[in-house]
Amino acid sequence: MTPEVLMELAREAMGRAYAPYSKFQVGAALLGESGRVYVGCNVENAAYGPTCCAERTAFFSAVAQGERRFQALAVLGGMGGVVSRPAAPCGVCRQVMAEFCPPDFPIYMGGPDGQIEKHTLSE
Ligand code: THU
């Protein structure tokens, strides 16, 4: 599974974001050790606090389906689903990742024009 294919799956998930309040749509695709991919999108709520980011949606879905070890994450987001710059996972999502992933865990961030930045969790 290439970063490009993983990013494409994240982009499809971004299209399913429920973000009527911020309009900022985010998609994530998490590659499990098994080779299975778990996607997530942000799901907002009128009360704000219950909102769940795309990355956590993907991680929680994976854990619920029995996978706890992962190879890589792809994430991208933008206003109305238009990606203008790479979006870094928020602090809460990084904390969730730190529970399951090593410091060198690769995080691919999607930018405009299909660009992909590679980062690590420790960064
Ligand atoms: N969001 C994510 O899904 N992932 C992040 O890493 C940052 C923020 C979502 C939460 C909220 O629905 C919207 O983006 C605006 O913050």
Query: Among this protein's residues, is 4 annotated catalytic?
Result: no
Question: Sorting pLDDT into bands at 50, 70 and 90, what band is 9?
Answer: very high
Element (H, E) at 106: strand 106-110
Structure confidence by residue, pLDDT tens digits, 65-85: 999 999 999 999 999 999 999
Which ranges of the chain does DSSP label H, i.e. alpha helix?
A: 3-14, 54-64, 91-100
Report how far ligand 1's centroid is from the alpha carbon of 55 (Å): 9
| Ligand 1 proximal residues by C-beta, below 6 Å | 19, 22, 24, 26, 42, 44, 51, 53-55, 89-90, 93
Q: How far apart are CA 9 and CA 122, in angstroms?
A: 24
Q: Which of 53, 84, 94 to mutate to test the pocket of ligand 1 (most atoms within 8 A of CB)?
A: 53
